[in-house]
């Protein structure tokens, strides 16, 4: 009796939780140090924020003097999430630069996956950035 209940429970779990989540492994003692930046967030889609959250933002400069931004995302759900993102760049006066060269990129993130998205500024004049995240279909 106990066995059949346990078996039923296992089958029910397997059926309802059919999306595979992400396992990962990484070195604990990190060689590289991330230059984390404090961010300012505007959340209008709380649903997206609950599903795919921004964990952290770090920046670096390329050898050519371009700003490189890396954003860490986490899928908090147990299902695959599609999203679109778009980086905007601003010069030291706050004026947007490279408008036409920055694309809206469609991407997906596996259940419970921790993922990085990155972009490189289109010109050396770009000093600030903004990331726009939109839930995909």
Partner 1 sequence: MKNKIIIPLMAASAVFVTGCGTNAHYVQTGGTQNVVSIGQINIQDYIQAASAMTGDLLASGALDRVKTPPAVLAISRIVNNTGQQIDTDLLVKKIRVALLQSGKAVTTTTFGLGGQAEDPLASGLQQKNDFMNDKNTTGRVDFSLSGKIIQLNARAGNTSQATYSFQLSLTDNQGLAVWEGEKEITKQGTQSAVGF
Member of 77, 88, 102, 110 binding partner 1 (CB under 8 A): 102
Q: Report residue 87 as tokens.
A: 């980086």
Angle (CA) 12-9-80 rounded to 5° is 40
List the end-to-end C-alpha distance of the chain, in Å, as a whole number.
44
Q: How far apart are CA 3 and CA 119, in angstroms?
A: 53
Shortest spacing between CB 96 and partner 1, in angstroms? 13
Candidates 49, 44, 46, 59; CA nearest to 129 is 59
Residues 82-101 that bind partner 1 (CB under 8 A): 82, 84, 98, 100-101
Residues 8-27 that bind partner 1 (CB under 8 A): none
106 alpha-carbon distance from chain centroid: 12
Q: Which is nearer to partner 1, 59 or 102 (CB)?
A: 102
35 binds partner 1 (CB under 8 A): no
User: If binding means CB under 8 A, how many residues of this protein chain bind partner 1?
Assistant: 23
| Residues near partner 1, by CB under 8 A | 62-64, 66, 68, 82, 84, 98, 100-106, 119-120, 122-124, 134, 136-137
């Amino acid at each position: 009796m106990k066995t059949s209940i346990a078996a039923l429970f296992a089958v029910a779990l397997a059926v309802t939780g059919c999306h595979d989540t992400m396992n990962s492994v990484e070195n604990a003692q990190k060689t590289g140090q991330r230059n984390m930046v404090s961010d300012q967030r505007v959340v209008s889609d709380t649903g997206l924020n609950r599903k795919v959250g921004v964990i952290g933002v770090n920046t670096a400069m390329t050898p050519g003097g371009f700003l490189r931004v890396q954003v860490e995302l986490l899928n908090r759900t147990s299902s695959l999430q599609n999203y679109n993102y778009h980086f905007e760049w601003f010069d030291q006066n706050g004026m947007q630069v490279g408008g036409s060269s920055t694309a809206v990129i469609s991407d997906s993130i596996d259940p419970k996956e921790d993922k990085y998205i990155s972009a490189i500024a289109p010109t050396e004049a770009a000093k600030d950035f903004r990331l726009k995240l939109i839930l995909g279909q």
